[in-house]
Chain A
Amino acid sequence: MEFENLDTVLQSLAKAVGDHLPLKVKRIQIGQVVPLQAAVIYMDGLVKNDVISRDILAPLMLHVKEQVMPGENTATYLSDRYIAISGTLLKHDIEKTADGLKAGKSAVLLEGSAEIILLDTEGGEFRSITEPLSETSLRGSREGFVENLDTNLAMLKREIKDSALAIEHFTLGRRSRTDLALVYISNIVDPDIVNSVREKINAIDVDSVMGTGTVEQYIEDSTYTIFPQVIYSERPDRVASRLLEGKIAVLLQGTPFAFTIPALFVEFFHTIEDYYERTVTANAIRLLRLLSLFFVTSLPSIYLTFIKYNAELIPIDFVVPIVQSRTGIPLTPFLEILVVEILVEILREGGLRLPSKIAQTISIVGGIIISDAAVQAKVVSPSTLLIVGITTISSFVIPGQEMSFTIRILRFPMLVLSNMMGIFGIATGYILLMVHLLSLRSFGVPYLTFYRGDLKDTLFRAPLWQMNRRPEAVPNENAVRQKKTKKQP
């Protein structure tokens, strides 16, 4: 295609970008004697204006002290000699140029030249790197992902300098044209999983993807399970450590939440801090989390079974206070627990999206005033309140919002089952959970599985120098993580 007339090219470019999107066009003249007509085009807000003025306009307008003739090699000549920007591409294609402009690049059109110079001037305002809000750490890095994909990828590259680190780029959404990056370490990751994920991402054909949460739903294996099949993180160190275990990270432009796949059930109860802490303390915390998991899922239902069916199993010293506290309460034990549980969930959901100052009021009004009033009004008993309180606090111990929410939801069916069938109901709940978890898959990998070697990092964590092999549960190409790093005592 020969671009003879600058105006024609400008018009078709404006059309490709979109009729209603204003392009900034700066017409310039390059060279002496008979100046070459040219235009610098960009979209306001997406570029660094000072870079355009300093490195494109100034050299082309002021420093070309020769006559530039329109011709085949003019674009190459100008970008090689005068434009002081590292990212320079020569394009013939109007559509690709338009895509570049939307991504913050600047284009230089030259009269009589078929080539368009596309320059890397991406800029605009982005949030700077801050501490991740949802995953604070006491001893880890304070860096969290931001909304800019390039910055996030740079953070990952800084964490892993391995030559096998692979980044694949995709553009998703017909209208949103959102950039997505698939990151993995090519000689650790299982190629079959990468291929299947790549296929699934390529198959997404939608208007827009606005967050990693939507991408997750398009590519996950089981839609109707309550369990999350990907692990979200805002922390580059956590994502990097998971990449090193042979997992794949998915990062999306516009969101600080990356997710890694495949995800195993036990991994939702791990945090990056577990590896930064000393072995014994880290294990104590893991034990605490396990206990919390049990409390959240079962404590209300066990309490219900005790007071409804198996009062003989309540320790004798507790029977009198519990019975006394329940006298005069018209609700059945089940309804009583259910009412408090739902109230707590409402309080939590209410406080979640409020500004922190109002949220504090909610927790005081809800937590102290309402609960006290509920006991006074004989709607609930203090012992029920205690049980629900323990359950609620325990649910905060489970790291990761997605699993925490799942576990919290689970206590409701457990409560219903124990109301119907007592201890047999609780056992039934556990059986259903167990069978479901064991049959679930995350990207083809069993969600819950048992390998002897993996016991080093499941419920408990072995000393780091003993974890010589990568987890077996996620297939990988390179099982050895480290050689003996410490002489065993």
Chain B
Amino acid sequence: MDKRKNELLTTNELLFTLIGCIIGAGILSLPNSIVAEAKQDGWISTVIGSLYPLYVVMVGSIIIKRYPDQNIMEVSKQCLGKVFGGFLNLMFLAQFLVYVVGVIGAANSILRVYAVWFMPRYKITLVLVMLIVYGCMQGLKVIAKINILMFFFIALITLSSTMSIRYGSILNLRPFLGAGLDKIIKGSIESAFSYGNMELLLVIYPYINNRKAIIRTALYATAIITFIYTWTVFATTLYLGPDIVPQSLWPFFFVSESVKIPAITSFRFVYMAFWTLIIFKTATTQYYASTAVFNNLFNRIDRKYACLLLAPLILFIPLLFENEVARRDLFSKLMPWVTLFNLFYITLLAVLAAIKRKTAPGGTTKG
């Protein structure tokens, strides 16, 4: 038994980790902002929005091919020097943390609204952060397996939402392309923010056992995410109509609750347990990425300690959000910058990697 091989991620684990890092409780609120812009054509915007993760994978593939043994942080230091490269890595760390904070903040609101109204925010945050830190300390392999397990919940929820079709009206989706091209584009920019975190691929690619399948797997992941996102927006619009969707903070919740089984009043109980697990998985995977970048910045500090060191940040910042609306307002201003930074960071490094390949063919990849 090759012990090291045992520690590397399999193709399946990579696939589900990428999906798990991106799809989280965000799909509950996903249709809200998109449909507000693109109305009944929100689902088309969602398909177009997938260009963002696709871009990250395609441009990232240049880096992956050029530096198969180093992750993006090392590439950054190597291409841009320790100071500037390190600074960009710090920003890269910050953007992952922004996502974690966002997920925890959103989780707080969902849980308080739908399940644990009796718990104060700080208690929910504290418990969530403790779970995330504990999960994150167990390492990438365990996180990958959590993601595999959790994908079944996501699949189950997606599947159960198909029940809503019989209550929906096709009129809600008409007229097709009626929202206008500019609105659809605006909507797709909005949706692109939800596709964030494909950047995780560039952090973990040296730990995959089948190097040849990395890009293919990432593309599969993108396809599955696009499908689930599009279905979410489509089903929600079909069920609620483009006018009601923007009125609800978590419109998809209505769709997933449309399952009716005799003797069970509501599936909410089951769903809330599922959502808590899904939220945990998303935040843990993103937090893993943060600690991995941190570990790269400060080599001396073990990644497990990094999990503890960064914990105060994800514990206190979510407490600053007054409510869900304020949180969304802040994030709607923040996300464009985060996304722009990621685009800049990845494109810059890919260009440098491509130039280096031209100037030094067959150059060593050892750092």
Partner-B contacts on A (CB < 8 A):
190, 192-193, 302, 305-306, 309-310, 312-316, 421-424, 426-428, 430-432, 434-435, 438-439, 444, 446, 448-450, 452, 475
Contacts and interface: CB of A to CB of B under 8 A. Distances in A.
Nearest to A305: B269
Interface residues of B, number: 33
Given A421-B119, A431-B135, A438-B145, 7 more contacts: A315-B263, A422-B118, A423-B116, A424-B115, A431-B277, A435-B146, A438-B138
B111 interface: yes
A452 B277 contact: no
B131 A310 contact: no
Interchain residue pairs A-B with the least CB separation, the first 4: A427-B276, A475-B1, A439-B138, A424-B116
A423 B145 contact: no
A449 B309 CA distance: 29
30 contacts: A306-B269, A309-B116, A310-B269, A313-B266, A313-B268, A314-B265, A315-B263, A421-B127, A422-B116, A422-B118, A422-B119, A423-B116, A424-B124, A424-B127, A424-B276, A427-B272, A428-B131, A428-B276, A430-B277, A431-B131, A431-B135, A431-B276, A434-B277, A435-B142, A438-B145, A439-B138, A444-B1, A446-B6, A446-B141, A449-B145
Contact of B265 (A315, A438, A446, A450): A315
Contacts of B265: 312-316
Given A431-B131, A435-B138, A448 B1 contact: no
A422 B135 CA distance: 21
B134 interface: yes
Contacts of B131: 428, 431-432, 435
B149 interface: yes
Contacts of A423: 115-116, 269, 272-273, 276
Contacts of A310: 115, 269
B293 to A, nearest CB: 22
B116 A302 contact: no
Contacts of B272: 423-424, 427
Interface string B10-26: 00100000000000000
Nearest to B149: A434
B264 interface: yes
A310 to B, nearest CB: 7
B288 to A, nearest CB: 12
Given A315-B265, A428-B276, A190 B1 contact: yes
B274 to A, nearest CB: 8
Contacts, number: 89
Nearest to B138: A439
Interface in B159-187: none
Contacts of B149: 434, 438, 450
Nearest to B152: A450
A192 B276 CA distance: 39
Interface string B261-284: 001111011001100110010000
A108 to B, nearest CB: 49
Contacts of B12: 450, 452
A308 to B, nearest CB: 9
Contacts of B245: none
Nearest to B274: A427
B148 interface: yes
Nearest to B270: A423
B171 to A, nearest CB: 33
Contacts of B145: 438, 446, 448-450
Interface in B232-276: 263-266, 268-269, 272-273, 276
Contacts of B134: 432, 435
Nearest to B273: A427
Contacts of B127: 421, 424, 428
Question: Most B CB atoms within 10 A — which of A316, A427, A439?
Answer: A427
A465 B342 CA distance: 51
Contacts of A428: 127, 131, 276
A274 B115 CA distance: 39
A195 to B, nearest CB: 11
B118 A309 contact: yes
A442 to B, nearest CB: 14
B262 to A, nearest CB: 9
B269 A302 contact: yes
Given A192-B1, A428-B127, A452-B12, A421 B116 contact: yes
Contacts of A431: 131, 135, 276-277, 280
Contacts of A432: 131, 134
